Amino acid sequence: MKTIPELRQEIDRQVDLLVRAGRQRIQLMEVCGTHTVALARGGLLDLMPKPLRLVSGPGCPVCVTDQSYMDQAVWLAQNRPDVTIATYGDMLRVPGRSGSLEEARAAGAQVQVVYAAHEAVEMARQNTKRQVVFLAVGFETTTPATALAIEQARRLNVTNFSVFTAHKLVLPAMRALLSQPDIQIDGFLCPGHVSVILGYKAYEDLARDFHRPCVVAGFDEEQILAGVAEICRQLATGQPQACSVYSPVSAQGNTVAQKILADVFHPADAPWRALGVIPGSGLELNEAYADFDTRRRIEMPPCESYELPGCRCGEVICGRCLPTDCPLFAKACTPRSPVGPCMVSSEGSCAAYYKYRWRGGKAAKL
């Protein structure tokens, strides 16, 4: 592995070539929230040569989750005294029309934070009188774990466990973004963890159809810089392709995990924040597991999709703007009192900008 100074030199050199070839701005998208955080936490954004800019993509599971889903989850917590909500911690504080899950919990609703789906199954086994509803959000990294938990629940005949799924697939969203004419994305820094499951070949069609580099990178400083350098190199040579600079990622990915996923789920249309319904971008339970689908088990009021007033989270996760372009950033919207999910989630772009880069207005240049 090259050193940080070597990688920075490499990026500078490639960007220089691109500028000389007439490019004024090179905009790359990091698809994954973990990359967003690592870039800010590692102080890497300021080290990029000027024409190169990184924007966040739809890779933070909480941020892409549609408001209608949040409102239904809060409805469950507030209106079904027999239900215990099991959720990843990041979902707790996302504001909805009737408040957040955290507010519901403080008012007496049963909302438990879990780190993994199987904990929710265990919770159901130990509290047989309660309906445990797992809020299943996340991409291909968390989906196999949800699938395994559902299989486990079926094997153990845990009838009081169900999954309220908002799982999403990364590739359809990337494709949807490239189809929007007003968003400039010259290349993708593809997510490391998701790609361990998917394999880097999964990005081949995208790279070919849209002529964009799709480079999978890991999460430490060297790995991220190596990914950026490779994207710039491909742009400079005019030969974009799908590849990985992250050693745990193979061409085919984790076929065992892919099979578990396919056993339990099938792709379905799904609503995304800001992007609307993207065909085939979500996951629904297969008929054999339909008993574990919260939507089939509990009737919930229909909730509509909407954008939070004034909040530009939707534009942030599409790379249309930076967190600092939002008028609410660091004013009405802070991690203490978040307006939108990108300020709530530990993987959200706004939270990362605020936490690691915001200088309290004194040197407001970011």
Partner 1 sequence: MKEKEIRLAHGGGGQLTNELIHQVILPALGGGQDPKRLSDSATVAWPDQPAGGGKVVFTTDSFVVWPLEFPGADIGKLAVCGTLNDLAVSGAHPAAMSMALVLEEGLSIELLARVLASAGKEALQAGVRILTGDTKVVERRGEPGLVINTTGLGYPMPRAKLGFDRLEEGDRVLLSGPLGQHGLAVMIRRKGLSIASTLQSDCANLQPLAAELVSKLGPAVKWMRDPTRGGLAATLAELSDATGRSIEIAQQAMPVDPAALSAAEFLGLDLLSVANEGKLVAVVKAEASAQAVKILRQFPIARQAADIGQIGPVGELPLVEMLTRAGGRRIVQMPYGEELPRIC
Where do contacts with partner 1 occur on this chain (CB under 8 A)?
4-5, 8, 32-34, 37, 40-47, 59-62, 88-90, 102, 105-107, 113-116, 119, 137-139, 141-142, 191, 193-194, 219-221, 225, 335-337, 346-347, 354-362
Q: How far is the CB of 77 from partner 1 (least distance, A)?
A: 14
Q: How far is the CB of 191 from partner 1 (least distance, A)?
A: 7
Closest to partner 1 by CB, 116 or 300 = 116
Rounded-to-10 torsion of CA 63, 214, 219, 260: 70
> Tokens for 10?
């490499």
Q: How far is the CB of 230 from partner 1 (least distance, A)?
A: 17
Q: Are 37 and 254 in contact (CB under 8 A)?
A: no
Neighbouring C-alpha atoms within 13 Å toward the C-beta of 318: 19
Long-range pairs, 148-151, Cβ under 8 A, ≥24: 148/117, 148/118, 148/260, 149/116, 149/117, 149/118, 149/120, 149/121, 150/117, 150/264, 150/285, 150/289, 150/292, 151/260, 151/263, 151/264, 151/289
Q: How far is the CB of 141 from partner 1 (least distance, A)?
A: 5
Q: How far is the CB of 189 from partner 1 (least distance, A)?
A: 14
Closest to partner 1 by CB, 92 or 207 = 92
Closest to partner 1 by CB, 43 or 327 = 43
Q: How far is the CB of 211 from partner 1 (least distance, A)?
A: 27
Distance CA 206, CA 54 (A): 19
Q: How far is the CB of 216 from partner 1 (least distance, A)?
A: 14
> Tokens for 262?
């396919």
Closest CA to 42 of 219, 192, 216: 219
Closest to partner 1 by CB, 11 or 278 = 11
Q: How far is the CB of 165 from partner 1 (least distance, A)?
A: 14
Closest CA to 344 of 91, 67, 55, 36: 91
Distance CA 146, CA 128 (A): 20
Closest to partner 1 by CB, 158 or 196 = 196
Closest to partner 1 by CB, 167 or 298 = 167
- Residue whose pair of structure tokens reads 């990914």 in the numeric block: 227
Neighbouring C-alpha atoms within 13 Å toward the C-beta of 161: 28
Q: What is the DSSP string of 46-103?
A: GGS-TTEEEEE-S--HHHHB-HHHHHHHHHHHHH-TTEEEEE-GGGTT---TT--HHH
Q: Is 116 left (phi over 0), alpha (psi -120 to 50) or beta?
A: beta
> Tokens for 264?
């339990």
Closest to partner 1 by CB, 36 or 244 = 36
What residues pair up with 52 in beta bridges, in sequence order? 26
Closest to partner 1 by CB, 219 or 329 = 219
Closest to partner 1 by CB, 133 or 298 = 133
Q: How far is the CB of 27 from partner 1 (least distance, A)?
A: 20
